Structures are given as structure tokens and as C-alpha cells.
Structure 1
């Protein structure tokens, strides 16, 4: 809404939420006017463009969620509602029709607030052109060849070419282009691949069109199922040919068998041979999600595919899965079974819709897997998705243009005098108030500078605000005099206080690390309370030229000192992406240090038990898998560990008795 007058880049000014809410009421329909039937709704912006398409089992209940007070809405939903100027809906007869209409409208209007799935590459497929007079097998990225049967996707071009080379040795079907085939059929001279034995089509004059079609059917049947009975049949035929002294035929069959076995060896066996399923793994954070699809046919992984999603609106995993499946089967035929990490709300309607896409019918089942082989495959898919998300973020961070844009946007959004070329982010971590630590990570020119990272041990007990106050005080004490000597760090001895700079010029001393030059921006992991605590620390130290900001985890909002409302950065902006990455890195670094302290702490406790040396401590921790399980174990259970008897087990229980449970990690 142009009339709202948003103050600053994405900042919601004082009282503006009420103005936006009143403006929304001007076009919001009355609840009694909205039907309670299933349907699809469209939000439009000021220029009439459709900005969001959604579906609902109950239109009145779903649309009512968008017209609550703006402060109660998720930040991303709030921004969409503030952008909209009207809403309209269409009632349909069933959930399935709602799903189909939503899919059609998303493809037609390309609304900016709907999820955008982007392949990280254009995947090659193996295609068999069944609609041709003499079908050919080919490598293609075109998914819309009329009448073609597709296999894949394959991760690399060489992988599909290698598979075709092996398969055509077993099933010699046509590989030449349409122009070469037509020329060969007109002239009676085989195509060039046919002359060198690489094409087994009718143009090579070795088979008729009907015989070639039969070979093509065998090719497709094997690729679709990887049925090992084909190999059994060929081995029987090879033995019969050898027994009849037809050695040339036996050798030809032997080569076909070897080719098929090589194809099978290159596909990992993960499920029973009858399994036909697609397994999806999802890894997501507040801003993006990575999706990995394993195509399993005949119990083997036949293809892989991945997407990266920039999340514009707040989505549950089930909602993300629903839109993921709509994208996955836009051109591909769905299998009988689909394994996902979470079921969509209307999974039954989605199953009906996908079942209608199967050319020969048959039901499609969508389910989750909690245990067994399918769960292990899904975990592997999720691990690949996690790596894909990390790679996506690293590639995005390495883009110089994107980094420059991010730093400039941060400067404008936070009202800084210049772009923050050096940013420091702080995070506090503890375990139920014990082993309190903090981290400082540094980004220079938008990239992490790990040599400048610092970790802090907080002595005694302190809450998050007091811990943050201590850490900033210790770090900022070195701003004015970078050469001040600190306590010498002994990394080999495991000194926990890693914040002291190292004096480079003091003779006879070890090299002392510095904090380097003053930061252009200090970030803290947290919301308004953490930001105010950090600002008070700078005020007490008389530092007025270093800006402070905080990023809240849940809504990814940026808080500034003295502000009642946060700065809202666009969800797909490079600025928010960079700030989130700094925050996540600070959290990772703090958690790693905190876990190390906890490990050292339990190790030091156990080492004080008479007769319990380092080897037995290691055996105990390995046997129970975690400190929590060790502390919860009884004397008899501990005594069963190799090398631990009843007397030693009694001493261990007595030593760990004050801490009988491990609280949740913060």
C-alpha cells in the first residue's frame, strides 16, 4: 500500500501497524461474505497483479487468519497483507479440484509471494522416442518430446551417456539423429553410427522395423524395472548356444550379459527389487530450503535431483512438501510410492491428483518413513540436501556483486554512515546455566575471517544479558590501545579464555593475537533485550561511534537500540542473507566451544574417580553415547561396561550423583 508511508527500508514506524490494519479493513471482506466451502483465493497488489495464490478446505477459516491484528502475524505474512489491496476467491467442489486450480493459477500468474523452486542445474535425461517409427535413445534436457519415455534424471551428462553405451550393447536400438535415419532409409546406406556398429536401427539393415520395436520394448522394460530375470534368460541362451557349438552367438550373448550387469552395478541397491518410489529429503532454515529427490526403481537409485527454495512466506514442512511435489511431477510421471519427511495437510487430495497423472492408472501413496530401509534412504537424501544448502549459501556468499549489494543494503537499512566492512557478531551459549561461553565471529568484506574469531569463558553464573555485557566489555577494552598486553594464551593447554590479544613487540613473549581494527557494526544474536544490553555496555565505556544491532531467530527481524519496532529486510535480500549467515556462524562457533567445555568438564569429573583412567573414561563415553545417558545409568548398568566392576561403578555413580540429568542446550 503506497499510502502507508513506511519509514526507512522495511521499518514499521510507530503507529503504522494500526494504519495498515485500518487500510486493510477497507478492502477486507466481511466474514459472512466468505464461503466455508473448499476453494482457491488470490491476493492482488496495487497494480492489479496477483501476488499470492493459496487454497483452503474452508475459505472463511483460512482467509480469517490473514486479517488478524498485524502485530500477531508472522513478519512475512504481514508484509504480504500490507502489500495486497484486494482478495478474491473461487469455490470448487473438492480438495482435489482446489489443488488443481491452485497449481494452474500459480503457473499462470507467477505470484511473487509463492514459493519459487529452482533447480541448481538443468538435469540430463535418457529419452526413448516411442512415438517414432523406429524409436531412438538419446540424451536430452527437453522434457516435452511427444510420446517419449524418460529415465533419470542423471546427475551428470557422462553418466547418462555411459548408461546408453552399455545398454545399446545389450539392446542394440537406434541412436542416430532423425535426419541421418531418414537419409539412410532413402539411400539404403546405413548411417555412420550403424557402419561402425554403434546403431542397431533398421537403417543398418540388420533388423526390420518390427524386430527393432521388440528390442526397444525390451530396452524400456529393463530400464523401467531393472528386472534381473532378463540376465537369467540371456545366460540360459548363452549356455545353449555354447552347447550347440555356436560360439559367436554365445560370445554376443556374453557381451550383452556383461553390459547389463555393469548397468546394475552402477546403481546402488537401497530397497527390495520390487520397490518403485521417490524419496525426498528436506533441509531448511528461516530463509531457504534445499530438497533432494532420489529416484528409486527396481530397488536401485536410478536418478537424483535437487532444488533450492528462497522462502518468501512462512511455511510449515508439510506445506513445503506439498508445493515440492507439485513441482517435482510437473513433467515427470509419479511412482507408486512417495516418501517425504512430513505429510501435507491434504495428503489424500494430493494422492488423488498425482494418481491421475499415471498413464496406466494405479494409486499413488504419500507416506513418511520412521524406521527401516526407507527411513535410511530418506536420511541419506536429507544429508545430501543439507550439503546442497551449505553449497548454495557458500556460492551466494562468494559472489562479489552480491556481497557488495548486501553491505550497501545493510548500510541503508540500519542508517549507518558507511558500509560495515568489518562486522562482529556475538552469541552466548550455556547448558542450563552451566559452562557458560560466548563467541565472537568476524566478517570482513562480507566473508568470514576465521583467524579473527574469539571464544570467551564466562566465570561463575550469569544470565544472557550479563554474559553479553562481560564479553563486550572484555573485547572493547582493547579498542583504544591495540598493543596492550593480555594474558598469554596457551592453546595446547586448552586455555578457555581466548579473547586476550597477543603483544607482537614485547621481547621474550609469545606472539599475542589482536582484535584488529574497530568494527563497523556489532551484531548480537537476540532481540530487543540483547541489543539494549549491548548498547548500555558501549555507553558505559564511552564508545559512541560503533553501531549495534541484533537479529531475532524466530522472525529474522533486525533490532536497533531505542527502537520499539524492528527493521524488516526483504526475505530474499542479500542483506538479510548475510546477517543471517553471520548469526548462524556465531551460534555454531559458540555451541562448538560449549560442547568442548562440557566434554572436558565430565572428563575431569570422571578422572577424579580412583582407578578410572583416560582409557576407561573414553570407553564409558563410547558405550553410553552421551553424558546424559551415562549420568542416568545405574550402578549395575555401568558395571557391565568392559573394565568397570561393581566397586568402580559405585564410585562413578557417587561422583556424578549431583547432576542426574542434562538440561537442554541453549
Structure 2
């Protein structure tokens, strides 16, 4: 634990101007980023009596070994630079409102020839429109099922779309009129895109005009005595109204706003956001984060609750809308990243600068305010109740987890004779099939919980033919060689004038390294660490058969009680490593098997093999394609396509490929062959399956 007075800068050396500051640890890594109207006043508050600081702030200043700052001209520039540095350095003591990928959205792939709506989780992509987020994926599917009656867009995957294009028959949705069946040419690409645009307009809030248009068409059909069409339009109107009922009107004036609310205690805070578009709640999301009290925010005289709340609002709006601006830049047509209004429970101290920054992101004026009366106040109270409920549920879930995990870590420390509890555990597992496609996984658990962002995969090359023991030694050498390199680089940076501050991928060593296996595997891992000079990492092996814990170079294992939390934790770590390794191995094996029939084709390298398999989905479907279809794959010319066709079909295929007429077996209008009638090729396919 460092003494903050050892690196405290002299007050006269700190400028009395707005800027952004960074605290660094002994290795030069940035551990905290903050902004201030006055750098001198703000930084001075960090070096007050430690007993008066918030526990999180006290831990930060005692972990740091230095501080530097950058002066800017305005508070808006400080906001921009603070967000940029938090994103670049990922400081461990900054509260991060990371976008929870578990929230599903409705994505519409406008970048495809035949766009399709589908449920999606993950980062935004260019050319795709997104609607949501929704709390549950079933809510999207239920709404989409209603809308497909009115907007029959295709919802199938590209693989299914190509398959039905080849067989010339639509899927079930095409037969029940919930898909316009562009796969078989029932509708042109432009007409299908018009249907998808209308769907996007409806999802984007243009609901009333869409319903009125259908009602007018229904009345016109009735006047023309076309009662069958009028009945269909009547059912379409009913479907739209039912879909609209699922999105309750909360603001009668059609307001576009994000309503933000917090519930917090001394250590944690829950935030909930309701996205209101056109007066209707279009989505909801929430986070639970650690409270990071600003040590200088109280200098203006606010009480503690208001100070913490204002700090939470400031941090959340900066990070959340900074992320939304990046997503909007990557995704065409997703709308502005900031709504017209942002309703918050308290205004931060620099609300004017924050408003100016949000207005710059939107491109027009943004109103950030606290609702005082009326419907907006009522909605804000509803969102606040949701935040309070989320915090209470989080505490209930975490109470049991934290108690069990703390007991497990304490038991591991006791049973294995460790100096401290193993707060960071890493586990290595090897996966292969009879010595082929040897891969390894490394999973990370911190405080007894998985940290999936730091999982790593390894392809074993040098030691693959020597068995699991040599493979584990190779993984340990590669992992800790990177750790030693990152440590050396951080030391060199800290000796220079300016350190990079960004932690490497292998920057933090584990307290305990677990390998899947018994004594030989544990000894191999320990020897690899010793060769690198790493002496502060404990190593054990966990054998599957009897769940024995093997220390390296020991004749007898450590037997943990069967009902102990420590054994359960080790099993969880080992099983997670096994799952991650098997998943990687199956991916590599499936790619190798899929491309094996293409081995030896002249002029066909790995890149073209991958492109062909990705385009057709399998070698079986590639065999069903003609030369023209193969040549249509990006990167594959006609000469290469003819070579591939010949290799897959033999001399007869060569004759067909070079024939002037089209191959009837591969004409789009030809009926599919009956599986099982060919005693050679189809029989071979069955054996492969």
C-alpha cells in the first residue's frame, strides 16, 4: 500500500484550469481517470486525510504511484477527453456502464439484397437498423409474429434462404402468407425492400399513419365490393393495433426521451433507463455498478445523497451516450444517439457542459432536466421503483453467492497452504481428437466468479505430438512469457517521460494456476514457471476421476471434502476451462473436416476454401452447385471454379463443366434428386453423416 504523500504534486505546480487527470500505479498503468473544472482544487482533495475518503477512493489513492494531467480549454473538451481515456485505458477504479449484451434488439439487415428482421445480441454493425432494446427475446418474436401478417418480410437465415432458392419451394411461412417468399421469386428485391422499409417505419414510431393508410385501403376495397381483400386488410389493422397495445403510451405529447433513475446505497447503485419514442416505451435496460463517490463533489454544499446521485448521473450520461454515439456511427440509419430530452433525478455540477456535449452528439438541442410535475414526473417515479427493485434483487442474488465464494476462497487458502486467498484463479485445459487439432483454453475467475472478457484460446503447435503434459507446459510458457514481456514493457514505460498506461492482455498474474490433470501436469506447469523465474504463483492439478488436487512434485494428493465449497469452486473452474476448450476444438475440427475434400485442388488455398464453405454451407451443397454458381463466390474465378467442379465430380464432371449446354442436374428449374436413388454418391453422403 503506497502513501499518497510520496507522489503528491505541489499545489503551485497544478494549474487552476479545467482538465483531465490520470492516476497510475507503480507499473505505469492508468487506474483512474477523472475531469475537473479546476485541476488544482480537485487533485488537492484526493490527498486529504485518508480516513475521510470514500473506501473506493481510499483504495485507489493507495494503489497509485503517480498522477498526471492534461489542461483543456473548455469543460466540453474535458468531457470528450475523459470518455476517450476511459475507453482507451479501461481503468480498474472507474465505474464502467458496459452495454449488457444480454439485452436483445430487433435488427433489420438493410445492407443485404433481401433484408430480414431478426433477434440479435452483440455489437452494432454498419448498414443494420436496430430497434429496442427489449427485456426479453420472446417479446421481440411475439411482436414480430404479429407484424409479419402486415409486413411479410423474410426472417430466415441466409443458409435457409439459399437452400429454398435451390429447391424452388418456399418455407412454411411462405405458404401461410407470413413471408413474401423472395427466395422463389414471388416478389422482386425492390418490392421486398419496400415492405421492410414500411416495417421499419412502423417500429420507428410511424404507427398512426400506417393504421390510417390500411383503414383507407380497407374502406376503398369495401366500396369496390372486394370484400375478401377488405377482410384481409381488417385483420391487418387488428394485428397492428394489437402490436401497438404492447407498447403503452406513457407521454401523450409524443415525446422522445430517455428517463434515467438510480437506487443506491454506500457501495452499489442500480440504474434503469426507459427509452420513450413517440410517447411509447420502446425499450428498457439496467445496470448495477459500484458507487464511486467523488471526493471533491461536496465542496459546493450539497448533502451526501444529492452529491452521490449527481456524480452517478454525470458518469452515466458521459459513458452511455458516448457509447451510443459510437454505435450510431457504425450502424447506418439507427437514428440519433441522443433523444430530444434526457430526464434525470439530479443535475450534475457541470450540467451546462454536459448539455452542450450531448447537443453536439445529437446535432440539435438536447434538454437535460429533472421532471417536477405531470406525466413525466410520474414516469420518472416508475423508473425509480424499477431501479430500487433491481438493486434489491441484485443484493438477494449476490448475498448467497458472495457468502459461498468467500468460504470457498478461504478454504482453498487453508487446504493448499497459500499466503493469501486466491482472488484470481486461472485454469488450463487441453482438447484434441486422437492427437489432431490440439488446442488449449485458459479461463479466468476473479473473486470466485468467471471473468469471460479475459478468456484466451491457444493453438498448440510445438508440443502437440508429445501429449497433454508437454501441451500444458507450452501453454504456461506462452502465457507467462507474455506476462513477463508486459511487465518489462510497463517498467520501461514508467522509467520514461510518458507511459502508455494501457494494461496488456496478460498484465495480471493469477494467485492460483489450476491445470486439468494429476501430478505430471501440475509438475510440468510448475517447471515452466520456474524456467521463466515466476515464483509467486501457486500451481495445482485437478484430476477428473477422483477429484484429487495434486500439488507439483508431491507423491500424494490433497483430498478436499466432497461437500466443501472449495472443491465445488475448483470443479467449476475446471469444467469451464473444459467447455471453452472443447468449443474451440470442435470449431477447428468442423472447419478442417469441411475443407478436407477440397485438399489438393490446384490453385485453391485456405482462403478460397473458407470462402466456398462459408458461401455454400457444406461440401455437399458445393457439389450440387454448377460452375457459374461456384464462380460467383467472391475471390473464385471461372477457371478455379471449373477446377473445383472437376475435382468434386471426376472426369464426368469435367465433361459436363466444359459442355456448351447447361447441366440439367444443376439447372434451377430441375427437380432435386431423390436421396437414396444413387447407390454411390448418396450412399457415401450417408456414411459421412
Distance in 2, matches of 1:129 and 1:351, equals 33
Structure in which a larger fraction of residues adopt helix: 2
Q: 1:44 to 1:402 in 2, by over 3 A?
A: farther
Q: 1:115 to 1:294 in 2, by over 3 A?
A: same
| Equivalence for 1:648 | none
1:257 paired residue among 224, 237, 251: 237
| Equivalence for 1:342 | 346
| Equivalence for 1:318 | 310
Matches within 5 A, 1:190-269: 190=170, 193-200=173-180, 202-269=182-249
Q: Greater CA deviation, 283-292 or 190-199?
A: 190-199
Q: 1:141 to 1:33 in 2, by over 3 A?
A: same
Q: 1:347 to 1:149 in 2, by over 3 A?
A: farther
8 Å CA contact 2:107–2:119 kept in 1: the answer is yes
1:353 lines up with 2:370 in the alignment = no
The structural deviation recorded for 1:45 is 1.3
Residue aligned with 1:350, SS: helix
2:152 paired residue among 172, 189, 197: 172
8 Å CA contact 1:113–1:313 kept in 2: the answer is no
Residue aligned with 1:343, SS: coil
The structural deviation recorded for 1:318 is 1.5
1:374 lines up with 2:376 in the alignment = yes
The structural deviation recorded for 1:339 is 0.8
Q: Greater CA deviation, 43-52 or 311-320?
A: 311-320
The structural deviation recorded for 1:352 is 3.4
Q: 1:372 to 1:166 in 2, by over 3 A?
A: same
Distance in 1, matches of 2:367 and 2:402, equals 45
Distance in 2, matches of 1:114 and 1:346, equals 19
Q: 1:183 to 1:235 in 2, by over 3 A?
A: same
Q: 1:209 to 1:121 in 2, by over 3 A?
A: closer
Q: 1:181 to 1:403 in 2, by over 3 A?
A: closer
Distance in 2, matches of 1:33 and 1:375, equals 46
Distance in 1, matches of 2:56 and 2:12, equals 27
Distance in 1, matches of 2:209 and 2:359, equals 29
Task: State which structure, 1 or 2, has the greater radius of gyration over its C-alpha atoms.
Answer: 1
Unmatched 5+ stretches in structure 1? 3-19, 413-666
| Equivalence for 2:458 | none
Q: 1:348 to 1:199 in 2, by over 3 A?
A: farther
8 Å CA contact 2:261–2:272 kept in 1: the answer is yes
Distance in 2, matches of 1:354 and 1:174, equals 37
Distance in 2, matches of 1:118 and 1:402, equals 26
Residue aligned with 1:88, SS: strand
Q: Greater CA deviation, 348-357 or 187-196?
A: 187-196
Distance in 1, matches of 2:318 and 2:408, equals 32
TM-score by length of 1: 0.55
The structural deviation recorded for 1:297 is 1.4
Residue aligned with 1:393, SS: helix
Distance in 2, matches of 1:117 and 1:131, equals 29
Distance in 2, matches of 1:174 and 1:41, equals 51
Distance in 1, matches of 2:6 and 2:278, equals 58
Q: 1:188 to 1:342 in 2, by over 3 A?
A: same
1:293 lines up with 2:285 in the alignment = no
| Equivalence for 2:43 | 63
Unmatched 5+ stretches in structure 2? 295-306, 328-336, 415-689
Q: 1:159 to 1:335 in 2, by over 3 A?
A: same
Q: Greater CA deviation, 325-334 or 81-90?
A: 325-334
- Deviation string, structure 1 residues 449-491 (Cα, Å, up to 9, x no partner): xxxxxxxxxxxxxxxxxxxxxxxxxxxxxxxxxxxxxxxxxxx
Residue aligned with 1:64, SS: helix
8 Å CA contact 1:128–1:148 kept in 2: the answer is yes
Distance in 1, matches of 2:7 and 2:206, equals 58
Residue aligned with 2:112, SS: coil
The structural deviation recorded for 1:288 is 0.6
Residue aligned with 1:87, SS: strand
Q: 1:142 to 1:198 in 2, by over 3 A?
A: farther
The structural deviation recorded for 1:259 is 1.2
The structural deviation recorded for 1:368 is 0.9
Q: 1:260 to 1:404 in 2, by over 3 A?
A: same
- Deviation string, structure 1 residues 519-559 (Cα, Å, up to 9, x no partner): xxxxxxxxxxxxxxxxxxxxxxxxxxxxxxxxxxxxxxxxx
The structural deviation recorded for 1:207 is 2.6
Distance in 2, matches of 1:177 and 1:35, equals 58
The structural deviation recorded for 1:122 is 0.8
Distance in 1, matches of 2:364 and 2:234, equals 37
Q: 1:53 to 1:334 in 2, by over 3 A?
A: same
Matches within 5 A, 1:33-52: 33-52=13-32
1:115 paired residue among 95, 100, 114: 95
The structural deviation recorded for 1:86 is 0.4
Distance in 2, matches of 1:249 and 1:217, equals 22
CA RMSD of aligned residues (A): 2.7
8 Å CA contact 1:171–1:256 kept in 2: the answer is no
| Equivalence for 2:7 | 27
Residue aligned with 2:149, SS: helix
8 Å CA contact 1:130–1:147 kept in 2: the answer is yes
Q: 1:183 to 1:397 in 2, by over 3 A?
A: same
Residue aligned with 2:372, SS: coil
8 Å CA contact 2:104–2:119 kept in 1: the answer is yes
Residue aligned with 1:399, SS: helix
Distance in 1, matches of 2:365 and 2:161, equals 39
8 Å CA contact 1:195–1:204 kept in 2: the answer is no
8 Å CA contact 1:288–1:310 kept in 2: the answer is yes
Distance in 1, matches of 2:140 and 2:103, equals 10
Distance in 1, matches of 2:171 and 2:318, equals 42
Distance in 2, matches of 1:145 and 1:195, equals 32
Residue aligned with 1:150, SS: strand
Matches within 5 A, 1:218-617: 218-314=198-294, 316-329=308-321, 330-331=323-324, 333-358=337-362, 361-399=363-401, 401-402=403-404, 404-405=406-407
Distance in 2, matches of 1:313 and 1:189, equals 62
The structural deviation recorded for 1:336 is 1.4
Residue aligned with 1:213, SS: helix
Distance in 2, matches of 1:292 and 1:341, equals 11
The structural deviation recorded for 1:408 is 5.8
1:78 lines up with 2:58 in the alignment = yes
8 Å CA contact 2:20–2:69 kept in 1: the answer is yes
1:139 lines up with 2:139 in the alignment = no
- Deviation string, structure 1 residues 383-424 (Cα, Å, up to 9, x no partner): 011111110000011227546449969x99xxxxxxxxxxxx
